[in-house]
Structures are given as structure tokens and as C-alpha cells.
Amino acid sequence: MRITPWLAALATGILITGCSADPGSPEGSGTAAPSTARSHVPDDIRRAGVIVIGSDMTYAPMEFVKDGEQTGFDVDLANAIAAKLGLKLDMRQTPWGELLAKAESGEVDASMSSITDTAERQQRVDFVDYLNVGSVVVARGKMDGEGITALCGQRVAVPIGTIYVGLAEAQNDRCPAGNRLTIVPVEALSDSKGAVLAGKADAYLDDFPPGAVAVQENSSLRISGPQIEAAPYGIAIGKGKGTLKKAVQQALYELFEDGTYDALLKKWEIAEGSLKTGAINGGA
């Protein structure tokens, strides 16, 4: 499932781009990088030979299952990171609401599932940032206006435990008395679209890439207004995982340099989200 050219054009108009730089890919640039990244892999993970990453495989084009196979940008990038670390990848289906807890407890080595890096979440885990993505309003039918301000008076599907809760509540506070929005809580990110299509909500908040895919697949849906508050996605790593975050960061740097990262952005047509800082806890 890819964003079609017309959606890519739409992205050009409304996506806030991430910090990026020309990657540069001199011959042999990937030679020393894998050993540099591997030197930071914690001993227990190195001995196991496997990195276990939790992900909720319901969020195309980032992570989803097609024809029985895990696929998506995050899946491809996780495989590339594992290869740089000299490890096999075990990407485990994990419900959205359990992603941070499992990374925090060490049940998985990391969680990678379109998780926005925020200051609040940094209290529980560390993030290595890899993509810059904004939120959008996805609506069914006409509303009074466009974008997040048009949610006043509407029923808005919001997944529990996501940044959309705060966005919806903040907008509700700005709505005039007598025209407040109604939050319709749902369990998973993918349930928001279902609530709107089932007539239980009028609109929902989503990140741009999956929102664009939803519009592509459902002619009754549309993106309303510009993107909201672009922020980094991060790979969540438990604070007890020692140098793993450094290993993942170094692996990302090498993927930036050797062109792999750019190739994956192009493959999934999300190049506007390029973020090549590799920052640790770079989200606000």
C-alpha cells in the first residue's frame, strides 16, 4: 500500500518537512559503520543474535501485514538497522497500548511503531528519532471549515494513549460554549477510521502517511486542512538497555550515509518526512 502520486503532490503542499541534509554516499562509506554500530550492542543481545522489536502491525504504510508478511517503512528500516548491528530481527505484533510498557520492562528490546517522541514518554523510555511527521484531520463529508478548528461540534474518534487525546482536548477548550467537540475513544490507531466509516464519529486525527492511505482506499474520506504540529517518530528503548540506543543511533547514521534510508523513504513515498538527526530524545 503506497501513497499514490496525487497524494505525494498533496504532501508537498501540506507536509512539514523534517530536518535533512544531503546524505553523501562515498564508495566504501558503509565499510566501517557496521562494526562501529555493533560495538555498542549490549552483550546479552549480541549473545542472543536477535533484536526483538514490538510493533502494532495495523498502520499502513508504516507497519502492516500484507499477504501474511510484515511490511511497511518501519519494518524495512528495522530490518536494515538489525543488519547493521549484525543481528536477526524478531518483530513481534504488540497492541498499541502495550508498546511503551514492553519496552520499559525489557520484554522487548525496543518498540518501533510510529511512536511520537514526547517529553512525557521520555520519562519512561528513550527514543532514537528517525522520521518527522505531522497529524491531519481525516473527515467524512463536509464540516464547518477545514482542519482542527472545524472539529468543534463534531464527534471525533481518538485512540486512547496517543498524542491525539491532547490535541483533541486542547481544541475542545478552544471551541465556543454550546459547540464543543465530542471525543469518541477507541482502543487502537486503526479503530479511528473504522469508527468514522461506521458512522460512530464524524472525523478522526491521524498521522499524515496512514491518513493519506486511508483517503486513497476510501473515497468517502478526505484530509481536511493542513498538517498539525509535526513531530519526530522515535524508536523506543528501555532505559535499562544500556548502550542499545547508541547502537541503534549509529546504525541509523550509517543508513543515512549509505543511501538506504533515502531509498526506503522513496519506496514508501514519504520522503517529505526525512529526518536525519538521529537525535536521542529530540521530541519536545
Q: What is the 3-state secondary structure (H, E, C) of 54-74?
A: EECCEECCCEEEECCEEECHH
Domain shared by 107 and 187, yes or no: no
117-150 residue pLDDT tens: 999 999 999 999 999 999 999 999 888 899 999 9
The reported pLDDT for the residue numbered 35 is: 60
Domain shared by 80 and 128, yes or no: yes
Domain shared by 110 and 174, yes or no: no
Domain shared by 146 and 204, yes or no: yes
CB neighbourhood size of 122 (10 A) = 18
Q: Look at residues 203, 192, 186, 207 and name the one whose alpha carbon lies nearest to residue 141.
A: 203
Domain-embedded: residue 282: no
Share above pLDDT 70 across residues of the chain, in percent, rounded to a whole number: 88
Q: Look at residues 217, 267, 277, 225 and name the one whose alpha carbon lies nearest to residue 76.
A: 267
The reported pLDDT for the residue numbered 143 is: 86
- Residue 218's identity, in one-letter code, is N
Q: What does the alpha-carbon distance between residue 116 and residue 98 come to, in Å, rounded to a whole number?
A: 15
Mean pLDDT of the chain: 88
Domain shared by 85 and 217, yes or no: no
- Beta carbons of 179 and 153 less than 8 angstroms apart: yes
Whether 19 shows a pLDDT value over 50: the answer reads: no
pLDDT, mean of residues 4-21: 37
Domain shared by 156 and 263, yes or no: no
195-237 residue pLDDT tens: 999 999 999 999 989 998 899 899 999 999 988 888 999 999 9
Whether 181 shows a pLDDT value over 90: the answer reads: yes
| Measured CA distances, 277 to 20, 42, 94, 271 (Å) | 7, 23, 27, 15
Model confidence at 26, pLDDT cuts 50, 70, 90, reads very low
CB neighbourhood size of 165 (10 A) = 15
Model confidence at 13, pLDDT cuts 50, 70, 90, reads very low
- Residue 246's identity, in one-letter code, is K
- Beta carbons of 249 and 278 less than 8 angstroms apart: yes
β-sheet bridge partners, residue 158: 185
Whether 29 shows a pLDDT value over 50: the answer reads: no
Domain shared by 259 and 219, yes or no: no
244-256 residue pLDDT tens: 999 999 999 999 9
Sign of torsion, CA 153 159 165 167?
A: negative
Q: What is the CATH number of the domain that holds 250?
A: 3.40.190.10
- Beta carbons of 125 and 103 less than 8 angstroms apart: yes
Domain-embedded: residue 283: no
Domain shared by 183 and 224, yes or no: yes
pTM for the whole thing?
0.76
- Residue 15's identity, in one-letter code, is L
Domain-embedded: residue 25: yes
148-170 residue pLDDT tens: 999 999 999 999 989 999 999 99
Domain shared by 111 and 44, yes or no: yes
Note down the domain range covering 64.
5-133+231-273
- Beta carbons of 42 and 251 less than 8 angstroms apart: no
Cell numbers standing for residue 138: 481525516
Domain shared by 10 and 106, yes or no: yes
The reported pLDDT for the residue numbered 14 is: 37
Domain-embedded: residue 179: yes
30-73 residue pLDDT tens: 344 446 999 999 999 999 999 999 999 999 999 999 999 999 99
Domain-embedded: residue 279: no
Domain-embedded: residue 281: no
Q: What does the alpha-carbon distance between residue 208 and residue 231 come to, in Å, rounded to a whole number?
A: 11
Model confidence at 185, pLDDT cuts 50, 70, 90, reads very high
